[in-house]
A and B are shown apart, each in its own frame.
Chain A
Amino acid sequence: MSVEPATAAELETPTWRRGLSKSLDVVERFGPLLFLVGIVVVFALKKPDTFPTWDNTLLVLSTAALPGIVSFGLTMTLILGEFDLSIGFVFALGGVMATNWMAEIGVIPSLLLGIGTGLAFGLINGSIVAYVGVSAFIGTLGTGAIAQGIVNWITGGSAKAGFPSGFVRISSDDTFGIPNEVLIMFGVMALLWLLLSRTEVGRRIDAIGGNREAARLAGIRISRYILLVFAISGMCAAFAGLLAASELDSAYANAGDTYLLDAFTACFIGAAVFKPGEFSIPGTLVGVLINATLFNGLAQIGVESYWQFIIKGLILVLAVAASGVLMKRRTR
């Protein structure tokens, strides 16, 4: 007579406990998503006239747009098992490089220059990690400092403003009633998500992140993909910086200061959702939306801005702790 393992386990576990473990499973898979829904409901109840409106939804999405682009780029490096601390500074440099010579060389070359700067920094970061073998922590911290130095050098510490209207309109105009930057964010997101989930490149990036040595011995050229993800991360940061300059009609040295923390928070919140313990583009979107919703909602109910920093930091630590715990449970 044979007893099925499942049956045996069920006999040993009381019903309420199985119920609890099932609901814990749901929390585990969708925790951050439930949290997002929760804060939306709370803010909507607190500010029924101003929070749950179409205009405010667009506002929240606009707030999420630039951090989103930066975060999606960062997600690429995290999936491969690296990370990029230079994004905040490359963000600022992207804005400055794109705008500083705009009057002389025109809008399109300026845009290319801005994004090209991000690409260059990404390739440098990637080469340092892939070929020199420096850890991404020190490597990207160093290149970030270099980027910041260049920004200060070019701007001389003062903000630059008064750009051609064609440039300013990139971010601030609407298309079909939706702000351009929101559309651009979803565009970047769709591109990277397709790259990861529907191409050979994405499969290899995922494999390298899962087990780098096994990927190498399976015949994957690791360095190539390290270079690629850092290039994407750098371009995303510079592109977002350029959009910020367009939106604000101003480029300045400290433009990227909050983006590093925001992007890491979003990615780690994202790693606690859908496939717990794994970074993903849709997960990062949830993280970005939580950030933006909190920012908007807390401001509406009149919480001081320093509280927002404290709350952001807390959420980052919690998300990192949660995804670490989940990662351990999943790999057992």
Chain B
Amino acid sequence: MTPDAPSDGGSGLHGAPTVAARGLSKAYAGVKAVDNVDVDILPGEIHGLVGENGAGKSTLIKMIAGVVQPDSGTIEIDGERVGLPDAGAAEHQGIRVLHQEFALVPRLSVAENVLLGHRMPPRGPFVSPGLARAAAREILAPFAPDIDVREKLSELAPAQRWLVAIARACSGEARLVVLDEPTASLGEQEVRVLFAAVRRLAENGVAVLFVSHRLAEVVELADRTTVMRNGNVIGTYEQSKLTQQRMVELIVGDDRHVLEVAPVAPPQEEIALEVRNLTAGPLRDVSFTIRKGEILGIGGLVGAGRTELLLSLYGALRRDSGDILLGGRPVHFRAPANAVAHGVALLPEERRLQALFLRRSIRENLVISFLQRFRLVRGLPIPGRRSELRATQSAISSLSIRTRGPSQRVAELSGGNQQKVVVGRWLLSDLNVLLCDEPTRGVDVGAKAEAMMEIANLAARGTAILFVSSDLEEVAHLSHRVLVLREGRVAADLPGPVSVGEILAHCYREAA
């Protein structure tokens, strides 16, 4: 037990919890995403849920929403044990989960959206628009009486859309409403409007689970807050006894478990890549330099623009303005092909969707970017199977890819070995810059250490590495320097060694 004395589950003034999770566990490919978790959410309570990216919040929500089935553990609703085999069952139990991209249809009117999935009020054999509007107004009244139900949803401001979504969710018998990052795209004024609606919801006895990275908002809104870390619940705390500072400490944890990685060689003097005032997608005015052999960690929360930074450096995301200098020369990558030709490579976030040809062999996956290096005869664009096989064999042994052989389909490999195939692809060329997006995601502990080893080795050979990972411990441990992004801007450029707490502090600091 922590010294903060977590409040004890269901003994509050509200009686039986609306939703009680008991011993929930879920593992993906052997990695525990949620491990033996207990949570009570009481009727009429606003319950905060916080934790780093990958702490297990999403998986927990998905299990409560019936979208993901737990490996073990039970869920009780109003004291009764229930099975939630699918989203429909959870819906039937009065559980409503609202995501940032909720299930509303922008092209339809507000009234049509509110009544989506309901029986439209009929007049004779036809739907009556008048009656429908009246019904929609009635549902909207407690939350947003001043929204015109005839307006198209796409015309509404983001906060108003949330109100419509909340009203719609509460139109049936809602017991628990889960709000997943509802304020991510809202301004200060809009946040007020949303909060008022959430409080009204709680006053009506509905339990609210409020998931947010903006800790100040959690402090302000929540009655109690559950902190998660590494798939575990660290504790559930009365919000009145929990400061924002303490919350950050709990989220980060203090038991630093050290990863075994060879000492990272210091970077060289020569600058490999310089970015000046880059604006692209969500990125605003991003500037930094990275030297040869340097590992630059990119910190930031979901939506801070980390992936977009890598994609725009790779020519996969259109750049609005700004300059990119590679080895001192300005470059304009209009497609990833240009980047590859300049020795810039990407390990994308979703390797199965963005990097691999699952029905093809390891050999075919490995050589696809550099076919011209394995020609049968010099100068003729005819692939030489033998030299491809030789290169594949050597990649398999040097990266210790566990496989039956070079002809095995990539679909049959484990996540870690699939990642090694993608790494092996880029090792076929001379890399100037390697952009790594979540290189260790979905990879087991042993393979994780191997992947980090490989990154460190590459850096030692002079490749500049940009390294994005939601596991901030990894970022802190491996990076020479850390660049923290917040809402598309550089929030901090921290020289190493950097601690996780330092990175988080810059991730979470509210915009002034």
Contacts and interface: CB of A to CB of B under 8 A. Distances in A.
Interface string B376-389: 00000111000000
Contacts of A210: 357-360
A219 B381 contact: no
A210 B361 CA distance: 12
B382 A200 contact: yes
A214 B364 contact: no
A14 B383 CA distance: 45
A197 to B, nearest CB: 10
A219 B382 contact: no
Contacts of B382: 198-200
A1 interface: no
A219 B337 contact: yes
Interface in B180-236: none
Most chain A CB inside 10 Å of its own CB: which residue of B316, B372, B381: B381
Given A199-B383, A200-B382, A217 B358 contact: no
Interface stretch (A18-26, A201-209, A234-242): A201-209
B337 A214 contact: no
A214 B316 CA distance: 11
Interface residues of A, number: 22
Nearest to B314: A217
Interface in B318-373: 335-337, 339-341, 346, 348, 353-360, 364, 368-369, 371-372
A46 interface: no
Contacts of A201: 381
A220 B340 CA distance: 9
A218 B353 contact: no
A203 B368 contact: yes
A216 B364 contact: no
State the majority secondary structure of interface residues on A.
helix
A331 interface: yes
Given A218-B336, A221-B335, A331 B371 contact: no
B369 A204 contact: no
A135 interface: no
Contacts of B314: 217
A238 to B, nearest CB: 26
A330 B358 CA distance: 10
Nearest to B364: A203
A213 interface: yes
Contact of B348 (A203, A217, A219): A217
A214 B381 contact: no
Contact of A204 (B346, B358, B371): B371
B353 A216 contact: no
B354 A213 contact: yes
A53 interface: no
A199 B355 contact: no
A211 interface: yes
Nearest to A221: B337
B368 A218 contact: yes
A200 B372 CA distance: 8
A201 B341 CA distance: 17
A211 to B, nearest CB: 5
B135 to A, nearest CB: 38
B425 interface: yes
A200 B367 CA distance: 11
Contacts of B316: 216-217
Contact of A200 (B336, B357, B360, B381): B381
12 contacts: A198-B382, A199-B381, A203-B371, A210-B357, A211-B356, A214-B353, A218-B336, A218-B368, A219-B341, A278-B359, A331-B358, A331-B359
Interface of B: 314, 316, 335-337, 339-341, 346, 348, 353-360, 364, 368-369, 371-372, 381-383, 411, 425
Given A203-B364, A217-B346, 17 more contacts: A198-B382, A200-B372, A200-B383, A206-B360, A207-B360, A210-B358, A211-B357, A213-B354, A214-B353, A214-B356, A215-B368, A217-B314, A217-B355, A219-B341, A220-B369, A278-B359, A331-B411
Q: Shortest 7 CB-CB distances between A and B: which pairs?
A: A219-B340, A210-B357, A200-B381, A200-B371, A219-B337, A218-B369, A219-B369
